[in-house]
Amino acid sequence: MSSLSRDDVAKLAGLARIEMTEAELVELSSQFGLILDAVARVQEMDLSGVKATSHPQPLENIARPDVVLPSLSPEDALSGAPAQEESRFRVPQILGEAE
Amino acid sequence: MINKTAAEMADALTKGETTSVELTQAHLDRIAAVDEQVKAFLHVDSEGALAQAKDVDARRSKGEKLSPIAGVPLALKDVLAQKGVPTTAGSKILQGWRPPYDSTVVSKLKSAGVIIMGKTNMDEFAMGSSTENSGYGPTFNPWDLTRTPGGSSGGSAAAVSAFEAPLAIGSDTGGSIRQPAALTGIVGVRPTYGAVSRFGLIAYSSSLDQAGPFGRTVLDTALLHEVIAGHDVRDATSINAPVPAVINAAKSGDVKGMKIGVIKQLQGEGYQKGVQSRFDESLQLLASLGAEIVEVDCPSFEYALAAYYLIAPSECSSNLARFDAMRYGLRVGDTDGASAEAVMSATRDAGFGREVKRRIILGTYALSSGYYEAYYGSAQKIRTLIIQDYAKAFAQVDVLVSPTVPTTAYKIGEKVDDPMAMYLGDVATIPVNLAGICGMSLPAGLAEEDNLPVGFQIMAPAMQDQRLYQAGAALEAALLTKWGAPILSQAPVLGGVK
């Protein structure tokens, strides 16, 4: 039986940038055993020599001619911004005081 | 008027027997009468819809050449961006967002003169199979308001089933069009991956997501399919090839000499009795129409569900990183001196629901160093085996079939605390997504034990979508003869209006 501790979930939540309450951490940790057991079935088959498929199509880079096309106006681009200042997105501090 | 098929409505518009404004208003009235009970819509854009209808009527009266379904109203899953109209993907993190652009699907609907009446409810970011994971409350199944309509495109399916719209758009990442179509007694198609542009479709799992049509008949679904499909330079995975002739296929509906494969792994144990018997009956009907029925073996399908619940969460953990509280959507905790990281984390906690968090955490785990090969890596290899199983099967047969869902619609709340039980309902639809091929669900009748709709699934190789419609139309016609009336005539009356 697989399991993921409350602390494991807390670490993953930190990596995923989701602040979680204690109750959420405990609930997720209790559900993960079953879910991990179910998905771990992918390891039951002998997969040696099988190639991985990341996408149903053979992906290739597609370039278009380098010409200017219409795009969003600054007003439209900023229309959903939680905060803006001088035609720019206003964001919280990203560097510490000393940096 | 609202009980007609989209094809009949289009015909009445062409003949001048009605106008798009009348037709749209009749549907808006129906929404006003029954959506309090069904809750299919998150947003009804009456003003925009009537303006669009007026424009189509004016163009028609000037003698302009219009698309076959110009003037017919439609319900749009809230996962597709529509300029100026609230678009939330069922999430609180996007509450109040009005996109500054149209998705390609919306652009195509608008240029075809299809009237967009509003945005429909869905599981948050299309993660779920019951519409209960919506940040705005569940949608209710018109067949029994105590049950779910399925999901994630439950709002779109319920709207069509409840005659609030003759047509709707959904999206299908693991069955999210076919499963709700099955549970509400309508037709739903997941087109071949890359057939319909994903530009402006809010991403859940990019290698699996595909938008597609809902209708009450196979022909109606085909009419909408041809409007939304086609190459788009703004989607790098869009297939640059002609759209399969699905309307012609839906009109011909001939299965004489067609080879139909029944997938051994997608029937029997775990499938509700009434689901299995409606499926078997449909097979007999197809055989009586001249199709050759054979059983095919797809041994790796047994692992499809496990592979899906690693691949989709992995891709979602990456895709949903864009909801960072910086450029659009919700922002909380932005007090003086709060770091960007703290604002991001607080916003994502407040804005995402339980299932979305669960999948992001699962995906983050499956992609983390030390576990990557064992989980995501193995899942990708299973994906290869599933593609090979399909290739072998399609070397022997023209289409493959199965029940769409192992059960009929379940009660609201029944599986909401048991994610694994919910995931199991996707067992028959997921292989199509992993292989990038196409699939249809159409109504096969009612299960005798609960009188709820059962879906019959047809699958075809990539870009052979016309085969779905050809086989689907044949079965639909045979079932209609047998029943004497469309399946929805057996659904209960809602809001005193039928």
- Looking at residue A98, what is its pLDDT? 53
Q: Does the annotation count B207 as an active-site position?
A: no
- Looking at residue B416, what is its pLDDT? 85
Place B355 in a pLDDT band, splitting at 50, 70 and 90.
very high
* B2 alpha-carbon distance from chain centroid: 21
Q: Does the annotation count B381 as an active-site position?
A: no
Average pLDDT taken over every residue of chain B: 96
* Interface ipTM: 0.94
Nearest-CA residue of chain B relative to A60?
Answer: B236
Q: Is B328 on the interface with A (CB under 8 A)?
A: yes
B304 CA: distance to closest CA in chain A (Å): 8
Nearest to A31 by CA among A9, A64, A15: A9
Place A97 in a pLDDT band, splitting at 50, 70 and 90.
low
Place B495 in a pLDDT band, splitting at 50, 70 and 90.
low
A-chain CB neighbours of B207 within 8 Å are 54-56
Q: Which residues contact B198 (CB under 8 A, 6 or more apart)?
A: B206, B209, B210, B211, B235, B237, B238
- What six digits make up the tokens of B155? 């709002």
With a cut of 70, say whether residue B24 has pLDDT above it. Answer: yes
One of B4, B39, B77, B108 is an active-site residue; which one? B77
Q: What is the pLDDT of residues A3-54, one digit of tens each?
A: 899 999 999 999 999 999 999 999 999 999 989 999 999 999 999 999 999 9
- Looking at residue A74, what is its pLDDT? 93
With a cut of 50, say whether residue B242 has pLDDT above it. Answer: yes
- Does the distance separating the beta carbons of B345 and A18 come in below 8 Å? yes
Measure the CA–CA gap between B308 and B381, rounded to whole angstroms: 12
Measure the CA–CA gap between B423 and B419, rounded to whole angstroms: 6
Measure the CA–CA gap between B116 and B228, rounded to whole angstroms: 13
Mean pLDDT along residues B20-36: 98
Q: What is the pLDDT of residues B196-206, one digit of tens each?
A: 999 999 999 99
Q: Does the annotation count B91 as an active-site position?
A: no
With a cut of 90, say whether residue B337 has pLDDT above it. Answer: no
With a cut of 80, say whether residue B281 has pLDDT above it. Answer: yes
Measure the CA–CA gap between B435 and B461, rounded to whole angstroms: 9
A-chain CB neighbours of B127 within 8 Å are none
Place A93 in a pLDDT band, splitting at 50, 70 and 90.
confident
Nearest-CA residue of chain B relative to A56?
Answer: B436
- Looking at residue B498, what is its pLDDT? 45
Measure the CA–CA gap between B215 and B442, rounded to whole angstroms: 10
Q: Is B329 on the interface with A (CB under 8 A)?
A: yes
**For testing contact with chain B, the best of A8, A31, A42 (most B CBs within 10 A):** A42
Place A60 in a pLDDT band, splitting at 50, 70 and 90.
confident
Mean pLDDT along residues B12-38: 98
Entry pTM: 0.97
Place B298 in a pLDDT band, splitting at 50, 70 and 90.
very high
